[in-house]
A = this chain, B = another copy of it.
Amino acid sequence: MPTHYNGTQEEILALDSYIKLSRAADSINSRLSNSPSMQELTISQFGVLEALVHLGPLCQNVLGSKILKSNSNMTTVIDNLEKRGLVKRERNSEDRRMITIHLTKEGKEIIETVLPQHVAAIKSQFEVLTQEEQIQLGNLLRKLGRQG
């Protein structure tokens, strides 16, 4: 994150935007994951539970793509959720390469408690912006994310 670069005006503007983007994302994520409402869930664990409660039982590689995390990490994420009794693995009997992940009753309860709090936390983070501004921001960010 170059903070002392002598360059053209275009370069400096882009650098500045990049630094602000990184800082904003980092600080929002850190505020969210340190929030007590997260119940000791990591962002990945949260994402898995959230996907399961809305989409039903899923196999690992689908879960991986839903939460935008690497598939090789799903093994650990699910290991840890399983240790806490929040999900259950079941080897698919038709295609034995797949393992289907199911929410347990405890997992369902946790995510149904945590999710609304998490959403409220996000909403409160974004309340420094008006709705207009949030829409504006979303449009700018979409361009950057697409392929920029």
Interface residues of A (CB under 8 A from B): 1-5, 7, 10-11, 13-18, 20-29, 31, 43, 47, 50-51, 54-55, 66-68, 115-116, 118-120, 122-123, 125-129, 131, 133-138, 140-148
Checking B15, B26, B131, B145 against A20 with a beta-carbon cut-off of 8 angstroms, the contacting residue is: B145
Determine how close the nearest CB of chain B comes to the CB of A70; give it in whole angstroms.
11
Checking B2, B14, B143 against A115 with a beta-carbon cut-off of 8 angstroms, the contacting residue is: B2
Q: Which residues of B contact A148 (CB under 8 A)?
A: 24, 27-28, 31, 125-129
Complex Cα distance, B13 from A133, in Å, reads 11
What is the interface of chain A mostly: helix, strand, loop, or mixed?
Answer: helix
Determine how close the nearest CB of chain B comes to the CB of A59; give it in whole angstroms.
18
Q: List 18 A-B contacts (CB under 8 A).
A: A1-B47, A2-B50, A2-B118, A3-B50, A4-B54, A7-B116, A13-B134, A15-B123, A17-B129, A17-B134, A18-B125, A20-B145, A22-B25, A27-B148, A126-B148, A128-B143, A128-B144, A137-B141
